[in-house]
Every structure is written in structure tokens, then in C-alpha cells.
Amino acid sequence: MSEKIKILAVVGPTAVGKTALGIELAQAFNGEIISGDSQQVYRNLDIGTAKASPEEQAAATHHLIDVRDVDETYSVYDFVQEAKAAINDITSHGKLPIIVGGTGLYLQSLLEGYHLGGELDQKELLAYRTELESLSDQDLFGKIAELDLDIPQLNRRRAIRALELAKFGQNMENSQTDYDALLIALNDERPVLYERINQRVDAMVEGGLLEEAKWLYDNYPQVQAARAIGYKELFPYFAREQSLDEALDKLKQNTRRFAKRQLTWFRNRMQADFYMVGQEDYKEKVRKNVSDFLTRP
């Protein structure tokens, strides 16, 4: 049996500090970063996606940023295939792959994998899939809401796949993954995190978010990328259906709710070590655990 590839994954809610920590770890442990964010793949969408700045990208090599035009789609399958290729490229140069991002479904699909097999009853799966296919969009997406599943750019295919994983995941064969991953999950006290989110939105506006979103609204209002948090909330303002304050309040609210869903995903669905960024020594603990992880057989 070949030795598994060791990788790090820095995960957690939006605005908690994943990008900065990822860069520090890349510099400390000879690593390169793979974006684990479903929106940072799009060119020209820099501010609303909280993409690593040119200075940050210069501080550590980044992969899977700016790999799609805004009128192209991007799926879990695309991410898994391209992330695997990036991991192979990084390790071929003797460096450490570090995934940084908060799209839980993408990360779980890559790190754990799901291959139909084991004790899974194929007929039961097919029956469940047929049942889901027969549902209206409203009922199907209602099931997603009931389970509080975090699915970027929700559509029928993604909803059905997520519900299958939720129902049958424990019986789906996932023992053949090629990776030995250490998940570093960041969190903070909720009022502090929410205030950081609010401040980030304000900083995005100062940095040109409205111009970026208006370009998307004027040129590509129907594409997948336009349905992302950070852009869709501003469209009613551009359509003169809401005031700017109302649109920004909605953006902050949706981002806070998204952060809560991200935390739920990483707590309940993935084996991650959580660190509170408000604690002064959390980075020391992270570095020690990473060092121990990399040196153990």
C-alpha cells in the first residue's frame, strides 16, 4: 500500500482569518496553498469573494484562484479533480499542500471521498434518488434547509447529491482516499466573529465592492457566480428596489448566517481540531500540532 500524502486544511467560517494563517503555515512549513473556496475560482471577482490580495498571493504560491471566467460553471467534481492535480504538482516539488477555504462540501468530497460500495444497498440508494428526482425544486430545496446543509450555488444535482450523502454517507465507502489530512478549524466568539463580518463588508464597500458587483449585474446577471453571497444581495439595489443600506444589511445578515452554517458543517461532518483565534497562543498550538503531524509516521 502506498504511503498517503500528508496535507493541511485550514477551514472555518468566513472572516475568521483562514487566509492569513494559511500563508503563515506555507512559509513555516515549505507549503503551497490550494484555495478551497467555490467563488475564488472566478476571474474579476476579487473583492466580494475575499480573494487573497496580490501581496498575499506573492507571499505564498496559490492554486485554484482565477481559473474560471465568470460565465463558466464550477462544481464539486471540478474542484476535486483540479485539487488532486494541484496536490500532485505541489508534492512533486517536495512541498506541502495546504488547502485554505470554507466550502465544506468541496473539502469533504476531496479529503474523504465517496465511492458507492461497502454495505450500501444499491437498490435503496436508487429508490431514494428516484424519490428525490420526483420532488419539485421547492420541496427538494426545503429538505436541504431542514438539514441545514451548506451548498454553494444550490441546484437540483447538488441538492440530490448532498441529501444522498446525508442519508447514506456512513455506508458509503471512503477508505481509499490518498490523503492523510490535518484539519485546522478556526473559530472565535460569536459576537466577535459577527462584528468582524460586518467590518469586512464595510471594508469591501470601501475597496470597490459596489463597482465589482455592478459590473456583474450589468454583464452577467444570470451566471452561477452572480448567485453568490456578496453579489446577489446588491442586485435589488442596482434595480432600485432597495436602498443601499437595506442591501448591505441583508448582505451582512446572509454572511453571518453563512458563517454559522460553515461552523455547523465542520463541527458535525468533518474531524477537525478547533482553535479559538481570540486566544493569544492559538498559533503556537497550531504550529506544534502541524509539526507533530508532519513528523509522525
Mean pLDDT of 27-34: 98
CB-CB contact of 197 with 259 (8 Å): yes
pLDDT band at 134 (very low <50, low <70, confident <90, very high): confident
What confidence tens digit (pLDDT) does each residue in 188-245 have? 999 999 999 999 999 999 999 999 999 999 999 999 899 999 999 999 999 999 999 9
Instruction: Give kind and range of the element (H or E) at residue 104.
Output: helix 104-111
Give the model's pLDDT for residue 199.
Answer: 97
Residue 97 has pLDDT above 60, yes or no: yes
152 belongs to an annotated ligand binding site = no
- Exposed/middle/buried for 174, CB within 10 Å: 0-12, 13-18, 19+? middle
What architecture is domain 5-113+181-295?
A: 3-Layer(aba) Sandwich (3.40)
Mean pLDDT of 286-292: 97
Q: Which of the given ranges, 10-14, 122-126, 166-170, has the highest pLDDT on average? A: 10-14
Reduced to 3 states (helix: H, G, I; strand: E, B; else coil), residue 241 is coil
12 belongs to an annotated ligand binding site = yes
CB-CB contact of 68 with 41 (8 Å): yes
pLDDT band at 120 (very low <50, low <70, confident <90, very high): very low
Q: Three cell numbers at 4?
A: 498517503
Residue 105 has pLDDT above 50, yes or no: yes
Mean pLDDT of 254-274: 90
Mean pLDDT of 30-41: 96
Residue 33 has pLDDT above 80, yes or no: yes
Give the model's pLDDT for residue 125.
Answer: 64
- The whole-model pTM stands at 0.81
Mean pLDDT of 142-170: 80
207 belongs to an annotated ligand binding site = no
101 belongs to an annotated ligand binding site = no
pLDDT band at 2 (very low <50, low <70, confident <90, very high): low
What are the extents of the domains in the chain?
A: 5-113+181-295, 114-176
103 belongs to an annotated ligand binding site = no
- Exposed/middle/buried for 100, CB within 10 Å: 0-12, 13-18, 19+? buried
97 belongs to an annotated ligand binding site = no
18 belongs to an annotated ligand binding site = yes
For the chain, the average pLDDT equals 89
Query: What percentage of the chain has pLDDT greater than the value 70?
Result: 92
Report which of 62, 54, 102, 114 is spatially closest to residue 83, judged by C-alpha positions: 62
Q: What Å distances lie between residue 15 and 2, 90, 92, 136, 173, CA to CA?
A: 37, 26, 32, 35, 34
pLDDT band at 122 (very low <50, low <70, confident <90, very high): low
Q: Which of 20-24, 177-181, 233-237, 257-261 has the lowest mean pLDDT?
A: 177-181
17 belongs to an annotated ligand binding site = yes
